[in-house]
Structure 1
Amino acid sequence: MSLKAVLFDMDGVIVDTEPLHRKAYFKTFNQLEIEVSEDLYTSFTGASTKRVCETLISEFNLSHTHEDITNIKRTHFKDYFYNDEEFDLIPGVRKLIEHYYENNIKLIVASSASMTTINMVFEKFGLEKYFNGKISGADLKESKPHPEIFQLAAKMANESIENCMVIEDSTNGILAAHRANIFCAAYKSFHSHNQDYSLANVVISDYSEIEVDKISKHF
């Protein structure tokens, strides 16, 4: 056994788009002239945009379709994505990606985000050349914590699961890796709240901790 492929989650691991989604949603709520409480907003965590919009329609008795609201939100999100100065890669991740690439480790992104968002991130930050493949959970029947996305990612890398490592930051993602029997490094940042890392094989808060020489003792 040796480390041959790393399967990256995207949101919370490569970038943190959560603040952008939040700003885009609240700008949308203002436009729709509705007051969304913090509790209601928190309940949307992990839900698809479609489901959030359907909830808003029934909760506030709106005459819009979920497509209308989705389009308003997407427009604001795009605007923040390209123009928000605080939006950047997670500290240390570019160095880690380059490090794996130089060590001939295959890289696959396996994210619940839509392929459109994955491609926007890859284009904005010039990540395309480092990765061997991309999978969007939005295109799959089952979402995390179902292991399908990571099983497909290992297949895409053309490596057996014992030579793969997943980098995740969420309870559902860690559980998905665990169910796929793939070694999982949980990234715990100061943004991470209420996530359960108990099923991860290793928990880190700095990406230098999973460079090849440090992590290969596990393989």
Structure 2
Amino acid sequence: MSLKAVLFDMDGVIVDTEPLHRKAYFKMFEDLKIQVSEELYTSFTGASTKKVCETLIQIFGLNNTYQELTNIKRDYFKDYFYNDADFDLIPGVRKLIEHYYENKIQLIVASSASMVTINMVFEKFGLEKYFNGKISGAELKESKPHPEVFLLAAQLAEQPIENCLVIEDSTNGILAAHNANIFCAAYKSEHSHNQDYSLANITISDYTELELDKISDYFK
């Protein structure tokens, strides 16, 4: 076995869109004149926009459809995505992507994000040429911690799972990689909170730790 393919999660690994989602949601709450507590907002973590909007309609007795709310939120998100000065790739990730690409490692994005968001990120940061494929978990029947997204990514790379490495930052993503029996590197950033890395094979906080010479011992 040797490393032939790296399967990247996107949010929290390549970019961190969470602050943008947060800003967009709170602008929407302002428009709707509703007070959403930190506790309630935190409970939305990992839920789809549709689910969040349905919950808000129910809790606050709103007259809007979930589609109307989704559109308001999406418009704000797009505005922040293209215009927020703080929004950038996670430090060191472009260098790591280029390093793998130069060494003929196949790269696949296996993210829970929608394909629209994945494409927006790839276009904004010019990542298209480095990757061999993209999978959106939003289009699959099962979501992480189910292993489906990573098993499909390995198939897309045409590699057996023992030749693959997953880079993840969330409990559910790490669990999905574990359930797929794929070697998993957990990326722990300063923004990571309350995630469980115990099932990851290695935990790193700097992407230089994932350069090929540093991880070659794991793929012999």
Provide the alpha-carbon RMSD of the alignment: 0.3
Counterpart Cα distance in 1 of 2:211 and 2:201: 15
Q: Within 5 A, what are the aligned runs for 1:101-180?
A: 101-180=101-180
Per-residue CA deviations over 1:1-27 (Å, capped at 9, x if unaligned) read 100000000000000000000000000
1:77 — aligned with what?
77
Give the TM-score, by structure 1 length: 1.00
The AA in structure 1 aligned to 2:187 is: Y
Q: 1:107 & 1:213 partners in 2: Cα distance? A: 18
Q: C-alpha separation between the residues in 2 aligned to 1:56 and 1:198?
A: 34
The 2-side partners of 1:116 and 1:216 are apart by 35
Q: CA deviation at 1:101?
A: 0.1
* Structure 1 unpaired stretches of 5+: none
The Cα shift of 1:112 comes to: 0.2
* Offset at residue 62 of structure 1 (A): 0.2
1:218 is matched with: 218
Paired AA for residue 194 in structure 1 = N
In the alignment, which residue of structure 2 is the partner of 1:35? 35
- How far apart, CA to CA, are the structure 1 residues paired with 2:216 and 2:114? 32
Cα distance in 2 between the residues matched to 1:7 and 1:171:
16
Task: Give the TM-score taking structure 2 as reference length.
Answer: 0.99
Letter in 2 for 1:183: F
Structure 1, residues 14-63: CA drift from partner, whole Å, max 9, x if none? 00000000000000000011010000000000000000000000000000
Moved over 6 A (4+): none
In the alignment, structure 2 segments of 5+ residues that lack a partner are none
Q: Deviations for 1:131-185, whole angstroms, at most 9, x for unmatched residues?
A: 0000000000000000000000000000000000000000000000000000000
Q: Give the secondary-structure state (helix, strand or coil) at the position aligned to 1:7.
A: strand
Amino acid at match of 2:110: A
- Whether 1:184 aligns to 2:208 is no
Q: Secondary structure at the match of 2:142?
A: coil
Residue type at the aligned position of 1:14: I
Deviation at 1:86, TM superposition (A): 0.1
> 1:216, CA displacement in angstroms?
1.3
State how far apart, in whole Å, the 2-side matches of 1:58 and 1:159 are.
46
Aligned length: 219
1:5-16 correspondence runs (5 A): 5-16=5-16
Please show how residues 40-59 of structure 1 align to structure 2 within 5 Å.
40-59=40-59
Letter in 1 for 2:129: K
Amino acid at match of 2:202: V
The residue type paired with residue 12 of structure 1 is G
